[in-house]
Amino acid sequence: GAVVSQHPSWVICKSGTSVKIECRSLDFQATTMFWYRQFPKQSLMLMATSNEGSKATYEQGVEKDKFLINHASLTLSTLTVTSAHPEDSSFYICSAAGGAWGNQPQHFGDGTRLSIL
Amino acid sequence: AQSVTQLGSHVSVSEGALVLLRCNYSSSVPPYLFWYVQYPNQGLQLLLKYTTGATLVKGINGFEAEFKKSETSFHLTKPSAHMSDAAEYFCAVRADNYGQNFVFGPGTRLSVLP
């Protein structure tokens, strides 16, 4: 089946640093990738949707300058948390979908736990 | 707009007992409905989905769900719980017919007691 790889799975860093999270579709072309954030014991909240080669569409309330998303190829999207602070600590999950407008089934990565000290 | 509610943030059942996790949705368009399972520190795994056709949908690990339009429900069931079923379960509705944006419910944590 389709596989989405997310790296790193866990990262701990100091406040003020920037952290990059990668999301790769291993065996299909992901025309659309989604980035979610999940707080402890809560549901997933969509942060942004990115289509290959175009700018990401951010959900209301998500700072685009804080959470930089790049989807430069059909198999890779990155989320960079810039100048991270403790309140950015969370579980980040990506998903990827192929097909026109990303209308094929969505496959999720295993998530990245980000801890900011 | 779409929304999903899951009654009961935490459900406990005994091993071998019936599992019933409730999901109700609202949608302005015919919904596509999903159930996902999440194990600790992992991503989401699709259990089953309803798009069109048969309203009783069978998924992996013995789970099934029934789409009831009149009740706007998509409850998840399993006849006999196993210890390995302990996890967080999310019901989701797709927000539109063409995109893939999901609206997730708040989740239900299932505990299975020996």
Q: Which residues of B touch A101 (CB under 8 A)?
A: 98-99
- Summarised one tens digit per residue, pLDDT across range A75-86 is 999 999 999 999
pLDDT in the model for residue A1: 60
Measured between CB atoms, which of A102, A103, A110 is closest to B43? A110
B10 to A55, A85, B13, B106, B107: CA distances (angstroms): 39, 31, 10, 11, 9
Note the pLDDT tens digit of each residue in B2-52. 789 999 999 999 999 999 999 999 987 778 899 999 988 788 898 999 988
In tens, the pLDDT along A51-98 reads 888 889 999 999 999 999 998 898 999 999 999 999 999 999 999 888
Residue A100 pLDDT: 65
Query: Which of these, A97, A88, A95, A89, lies nearest to A111 by C-alpha position?
Result: A95
Distance of alpha carbon A82 from alpha carbon A6, whole angstroms: 18
What dihedral do alpha carbons B69, B47, A69, A14 form, nearest 10°? 120
- Cα A114 to Cα A79: distance, rounded to the nearest angstrom: 12
Model confidence at A2, pLDDT cuts 50, 70, 90, reads low
List of chain B residues whose C-beta atoms are within 8 Å of the C-beta of residue A32: 99-100
Q: Looking at the complex, does the CB of residue A109 fall below 8 Å from at least one CB of chain B?
A: yes
Cα B81 to Cα A100: distance, rounded to the nearest angstrom: 39
